[in-house]
Chain A
Amino acid sequence: MSGWHVTPESAAAYAADRLDEVEAWSTEAHVERCGACASLVSAAADPAILADVRARVLERTRSPARGFVRLTVTPAMGLAWLAAVAGVIVGVLLLDVLDATRLPAVLLVAPLLPLLGLALGCAPGVDASAELLASTPVSTLRVLLLRAAAVLLISVPPLLVVSLLTSAGPFLWLAPSAGLVALALALTTRLRVEVATGAAAGVWALLALGPAALQEAPPPALAPGAPAAWAALAAVCVALLVVRREHLDRVGVPR
């Protein structure tokens, strides 16, 4: 490296655009590898121009991180979240009107909300960008998992609050929520996403809603030992999802 450095005078001249082309080129080439001189030139430059350049650089370098957010937080997902939150409110209202001695409604409603969110977030015709998304190399498994996680993240906290207020054990519905979402995702490797989520909801209707409507005692799906079974189902379905991920493609694309 030569011993040549930018002087305060030449930095000021560069910032004021008073250097000839050769001198300006030498200055630019030098400041690319000399931090001290780069600082000197920056100090001489108009702060407004520096702020503008900084904003442009930041704008251009944040796209990968924002890409993940955009992939997850689609307008369709916003709708799904709204539906989930609205569902929680309905659940609370149900709790208010139901006899407190009966099975808390949150236990019956909570596992269905993530399924609803998943269906609304990934079903055909809901996500406007699904056709373009399907033509890109982005992994469908990643898209589904990101959106399922987003739905769970947004719906679980308010449900937890409701659950604690009503003394309904959170694990009694958290485990079936995870199990049913995993079941729906696994079924998506063979069925359309709206059919898969409907089938998972059907399982819940069969094991929880139906028995609850017919008898006072907790249904088998909400029995004290049931969370372990739901967790096992979730684990099996996730494994199945990973094994069959090749069959996941074109989710949400209209035929």
Chain B
Amino acid sequence: MTVRVEDLVVAYRRSRVLDGLDLSLDRGVHGLLGPNGAGKTTLVRVLATVLQAAGGTVRLLGQDVSVREGRTHVRRRLGYLPQQLGYFPGFTVREFVEYMAWLKEVPAARVPGAVDEALERVDLTARAGSRMRTLSGGMLRRAGIAQAIVNDPDLLLLDEPTAGLDPEQRVGFRTLLRELGASATVLVSTHLVEDVASACTGVVLLDAGRVVFTGSAEELAAAGEGGEGDTASERGYLALLRGART
């Protein structure tokens, strides 16, 4: 199991953002859904090892991330796109991805090829020499995805990756997700239920800091028969949330 989380607790001051959360994920693309404030970003940040849990256990790629050696091992094999991408505006896209490859300890000889491949996969090769400050929101998102996949990660965490992408780019991104999910565990936090329905093999639904549903995209769709919503997945999403709150 690539991700095994048990009884995870994360608290800000007195409020518990994640409250006894359990989660197990293996290879494939998993959509992380939930309303605002459900704890999606907090969970992704804990799995990205940038946020320390107040309680519970987190094992990633077989390693206990509360131990420094475990964290370091995981970080070498991790790809992470945060909700708010931090970057240096003066870097070119290539420099940004190269820098991240260096930080992730990609062997120097492999960096040029890895950067080329990552940029090609997100269709940014033509803008490799552009300064980050000149990119549109969608291009910045794609540059963020490129840095996340440059080390060919075993665990890929993407927080709102499709924000700012136009419909054509989103279709391309879903194809990329399916490719990545063939060899890695990919967790995609998103508000867009249709992204999950078309690209994810598994669905995790969070509400109020707890997992209220795990299953396949088909099971999500089937859960909402006869309910409200424009698509089967949306109907399932709403029905499961209401069920969890009653």
Contact = CB atoms under 8 A, between A and B. Distances in A.
Is B a genuine binding partner of A? yes
A60 B76 contact: no
Interface stretch (B49-57, B205-213, B214-222, B232-240): B49-57
A132 B111 contact: no
Contacts of A39: none
Contact of B147 (A63, A66, A132, A137): A132
Contacts of B112: 60
Given A70-B99, A128-B87, A130-B86, A135 B49 contact: yes
Interface in B63-88: 68, 71-73, 75-76, 78, 80, 82, 84-88
Given A63-B98, A63-B102, A135 B88 contact: no
B179 to A, nearest CB: 22
B86 A131 contact: yes
A133 B147 CA distance: 12
A129 B86 contact: yes
A132 B82 contact: yes
Contacts of B89: 75
A74 B207 CA distance: 38
B8 interface: no
Most-contacted residue by chain B among A74, A128, A137, A253 (CB, 10 A): A137
Interface residues of A, number: 27
A253 B49 contact: no
Interface residues of B, number: 37
Given A67-B99, A70-B99, A249-B71, A134 B88 contact: no
A46 interface: no
A137 B75 contact: yes
Interface in A219-245: none
B126 interface: no
B50 A131 contact: yes
Nearest to A140: B68
Contacts of A63: 98-99, 101-102, 108, 111
Contacts of A131: 45, 50, 82, 84, 86
A33 interface: no
B100 interface: yes
Contacts of A97: none
A246 B80 contact: no
B68 A137 contact: no
Interface in B148-177: none
Interface string A16-41: 00000000000000000000000000
Contacts of B101: 63
A136 B80 CA distance: 9
Interface in A129-166: 129-138
Contacts of A249: 52, 68, 71
B48 interface: yes
B51 A129 contact: no
A10 B131 CA distance: 42
B82 A64 contact: no
Given A75-B88, A127-B86, A135 B108 contact: no
B103 A133 contact: yes
B2 to A, nearest CB: 16
B137 to A, nearest CB: 16
B91 to A, nearest CB: 8
Given A137-B76, A255-B12, A64 B49 contact: no
Contacts of B99: 63, 66-67, 70
A71 B99 CA distance: 9
Given A132-B82, A250-B50, 8 more contacts: A64-B102, A67-B103, A70-B88, A127-B86, A135-B78, A136-B75, A137-B76, A250-B51
28 contacts: A63-B99, A66-B95, A67-B99, A67-B102, A70-B91, A70-B99, A74-B88, A75-B88, A127-B86, A130-B86, A131-B82, A131-B84, A131-B86, A132-B85, A135-B50, A136-B100, A136-B104, A137-B72, A137-B75, A137-B76, A137-B105, A138-B105, A249-B68, A249-B71, A250-B50, A253-B50, A253-B51, A255-B12
